[in-house]
């Protein structure tokens, strides 16, 4: 114990510039612990130069309101654990922007919504909009030619109405659609895509620039469920239990001026024990699925498809889906 105290004392005596360079290489959980070591380290971590330069890659688990930093340490988001935060800081994280920097969050105690960064307690309150299904909420970062910090929030309700909010507006803008969404919406080139809830042979599109709906016939194949995904400027359609029971098919969607057509990429066969399939979400280039298996003992199998490597991976029975996020201090 005495030797450990002498080591900490020696570290505390280092030049602040050297301490800053050492702490910048720590995961987010390590920075939080280092901040409690001594007053010198606390001042280094709290300095604007450190806050502006520190970054850590992490994963956000929306279902458990938890964050896992690059070292694998799991931290449950609880703003009351941070010092000097305002009383109106939200306590539940809902969605992450595409550039991994902004978070849409809400207050579970009050009817309030916020957009900002939970790790530096900088929030901007936006008008409240009640929504229950978090999978229909999208937070999009601004285009490169837009002012810094701009964003757009899109919520697609089950009755077909799509609400948008852009930074600087005073209220949400509704757009009434004729068809309800049947899958988690995705963004590609300024257009939000999803399948129709009643007839999943149709692809629903909403142009965020022109604020206009479009409907396109997708294809004639039938499955228990059809979802869409987007990665690297490409759109994909995922057919669950297609053709024969117990398989998932991945198709690439080609959108041309006058037509939309699909190209088969790959399939994953679970077998006769397969029950209900679900598309559980996307982590960058990886598409994640789960399947409840029939038989004497009910169980769940999780598997994924990487659109970059075009390979399938069976993941066992763990189906928690994490959203990549960039941690700043």
pLDDT at position 83 is 47
* Domain span holding position 6: 1-54
pLDDT at position 8 is 46
Structure confidence at residue 171 as a pLDDT band (50, 70, 90):
very high
| DSSP state string for 8-57 | HHHHHTS-HHHHHHHHTTS-HHHHHHHTTT-HHHHHHHHSHHHHHH--EE
- Residue-averaged pLDDT of the chain: 76
In a domain, 28, yes or no: yes
| Percent helix / strand / coil, the chain, rounded to 5 | 15, 45, 40
Boundary of a domain, candidates 124, 158, 177: 177
Is pLDDT of 296 > 60? no
Q: What is the mean pLDDT of residues 227-239?
A: 85
pLDDT at position 4 is 47
The answer on 157 and 135 residing in a single domain is yes
The answer on 113 and 101 residing in a single domain is yes
Residue 277 backbone zone (phi > 0: left; psi -120 to 50: alpha; other: beta):
beta
The answer on 145 and 102 residing in a single domain is yes
Cβ burial of 296 (10 Å; 0-12, 13-18, 19+) is exposed
Dig out the tokens for 154 from the structure: 């899109």
The answer on 13 and 103 residing in a single domain is no
| Angle 19-22-25 from CA coordinates, rounded to 5° | 145
pLDDT at position 141 is 62
Is pLDDT of 267 > 80? yes
Closest CA to 95 of 110, 105, 85, 108: 105
In a domain, 212, yes or no: no
The answer on 158 and 148 residing in a single domain is yes
The answer on 170 and 67 residing in a single domain is yes
pLDDT at position 323 is 64
pLDDT by residue (tens digit) across 5-37?
A: 444 455 555 677 788 888 888 888 888 888 888
The answer on 125 and 77 residing in a single domain is yes
């Amino acid at each position: 114990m005495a030797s450990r105290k002498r080591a900490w004392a020696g570290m505390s005596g280092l030049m602040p510039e050297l301490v800053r360079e050492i702490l910048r290489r720590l995961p987010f959980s390590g920075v939080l612990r280092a901040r409690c070591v001594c007053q010198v380290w606390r001042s280094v971590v709290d300095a604007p130069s450190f806050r502006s330069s520190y970054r850590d890659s992490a994963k956000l688990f929306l279902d458990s309101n938890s964050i896992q930093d690059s070292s694998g340490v799991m931290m449950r988001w609880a703003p009351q654990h941070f010092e000097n935060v305002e009383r109106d800081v939200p306590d539940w994280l809902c969605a992450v922007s595409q550039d991994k920097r902004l978070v849409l969050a809400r207050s579970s105690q009050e009817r309030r919504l916020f957009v900002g960064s939970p790790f530096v307690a900088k929030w901007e309150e936006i008008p409240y909009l009640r929504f229950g299904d978090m999978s229909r909420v999208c937070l999009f970062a601004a285009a490169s030619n837009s002012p810094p910090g701009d964003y757009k929030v899109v919520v697609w309700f089950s009755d077909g109405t799509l609400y948008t909010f852009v930074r600087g507006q005073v209220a949400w803008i509704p757009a009434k659609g004729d068809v309800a969404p049947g899958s988690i919406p995705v963004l590609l080139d300024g257009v939000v895509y999803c399948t129709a809830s009643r007839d999943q042979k149709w692809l629903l599109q909403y142009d965020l620039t022109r604020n206009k709906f479009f409907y396109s016939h997708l294809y004639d194949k039938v499955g228990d469920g059809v979802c869409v995904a987007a990665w690297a400027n490409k759109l994909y359609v995922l057919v669950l239990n297609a053709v024969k029971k117990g398989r998932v098919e991945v198709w690439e969607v080609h959108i041309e001026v006058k037509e939309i057509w699909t190209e088969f990429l790959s399939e994953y066969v679970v077998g006769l024990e397969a029950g209900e399939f679900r598309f559980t979400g996307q982590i960058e280039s990886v598409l994640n699925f789960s399947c409840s298996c029939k038989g004497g003992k009910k169980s769940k199998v999780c598997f994924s498809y990487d659109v970059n490597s075009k390979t399938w991976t069976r993941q066992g029975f763990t189906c928690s889906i994490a959203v990549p996020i960039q941690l700043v201090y």
